[in-house]
Amino acid sequence: MNVPSLLLAGGRWRCFPLPLGSSLFQALHNSCCRKESTAPEKIIPHVDFSDETAKESGKTFDKLFSSEQQASILHVLNTASNKELEAFKLLRGKKSLNIIEHRKKFGPFQNLESLMNVPLFHYKITIQVCNSILNPETGGKKKKLQESRILRKLIKPEIGRERVKAVNSIVSIVSGTRRLAWAHLDRKLAVLDWQQTEYCQLMKGSYLSSVYLEEISSIISKMPKADLYVLEKTGPSFQNPSLFPVLLHFHMTEAMLYALLNVTFAQDGRHQVLSMNRSAVGKHFELMIGDIRTSGKEVVKQLLSESVLKDEPRVFFPPEKIVRYRQMFSSTEHNRVEELYDSLLQAIAFYELAVFNTES
């Protein structure tokens, strides 16, 4: 008896008879009809380390946290809303959502080590989270950190927060191409002095350092003593070659002011001169249109009026000086002396932003 078989010949499958007694038939039969083994299957036992791991981590948590502390942490984990959990820095984002989801599926946490069953919570993170729940950042600490960030953005070089808070008076200085103005204010926002001086000759000639030194020294000799001297930090872009003479003038004036003010009014070897971000002052008084700062003339005019009309004005002009200041302001209305306006606004912004933090 022949059994039909399929073999590949010449690249094509062909059918031909295969004798029953042939060795090829026997090989095919054995391959297809092999009996299943009756030997018992070797089973590799599954070792569950979860109980042992839980015991070890549980012992660790018991060493790190007392029973009262563990109860406090579990109370927060089991009762806090998503918003309340996100108040802890380490639980912001997906971690707080994962905790809420885990509670919904499996019920409240029974112990601290069960927090490691939540996605994103490995052992180290779990310990850190427990510590953060026990020792959250206080409002005072958060406020200090926020104030430090504001100071870094607002003034240069960096200065200690406590030193800024202790300031009793400052002289705010703004220089332009033709004049320099300053305002002397105490921490009650009383204007002790406010004036300007012209130095037209500085922009003429070859920008001799000796001329700048003589002119700036003369101006500084008229300035009062204060805890800090605050300069306006600004300047045209290097990308405009036509403004290079103006840029050179600003840099030379700023360098002279930094050096001479620090030498003249040095206290305990600490620097007395800071630079304040011009745009930050503009934003504080809503003078910015995009990246352009507009005139502060109307704001200053309003401050002068409020000083007379209001019992508690934003800025206090002493009665014996208010007439002189109003006259000085009136004389500039047609010419718009921005340096005069800006020196006053910068002093107010320094106190409100850096010292009092009214926008923190």
The tens digit of pLDDT for each residue in 71-104 reads 999 999 999 998 889 888 888 888 999 999 999 9
pLDDT score, position 236? 53
Q: Which residue has the higher pLDDT, 24 or 319?
A: 319
Output the CA torsion sign for 338, 313, 169, 154: negative
Inter-axis angle of helices 338-349 and 297-309, to 10 degrees?
Answer: 60
DSSP of 252-310, one letter per residue?
Answer: HHHHHHHHHHHHHS-BTTB--EEEEEHHHHHHHTT-EETTEE---HHHHHHHHHHHHH-
Does residue 299 contact residue 343 with C-beta atoms inside 8 Å? no
pLDDT score, position 294? 94
Does residue 272 contact residue 282 with C-beta atoms inside 8 Å? no
pLDDT score, position 32? 46
pLDDT score, position 44? 35
Predicted TM-score of the model (pTM): 0.61
